[in-house]
Chains A and B, each alone.
Chain A
């Protein structure tokens, strides 16, 4: 029984990513998309917390949103996996529920 969490806001504008990180359970997945992809980048004040969470949950970004914002693969936090829209749908189908952190 696991959850796909989605975050679509920049972690510098809202606390959604932070709240998501502190409520996600081991074995869950977090997908960052739209402005949420900024949370998946290296060197931010949140990067350590995101990377640490990567040990117990799997982290994804929506490739198109990262590309659109000029975020190259090299700038993604270690362990973050880019997915396309089909991958997004597959993640939703593979988990028991989806929790959208608005």
Chain B
């Protein structure tokens, strides 16, 4: 199973998470987002980039409540809340945004 990014194929698992984290590019993120039916705008990118830097620092994809708490702290309460996050990523911010960010499925997500 793979995504097609401008003619190159990038392998993913049965749930759509990419197999090799180093394969990630912004073009790939757009391809995954399209498969997820997420229309990427600046606000989506803000969360995706936040997740990538969280992973870079701590080597984990945070659980939803941890993500929301961390976003609240760095971007403010108008973004760090469930409603805002689920409007951006209807199938779950941690799950869907992590997939687009090229991260593994968050620890603790079943």
Q: Report A-B touching, CB under 8 Å.
A: no
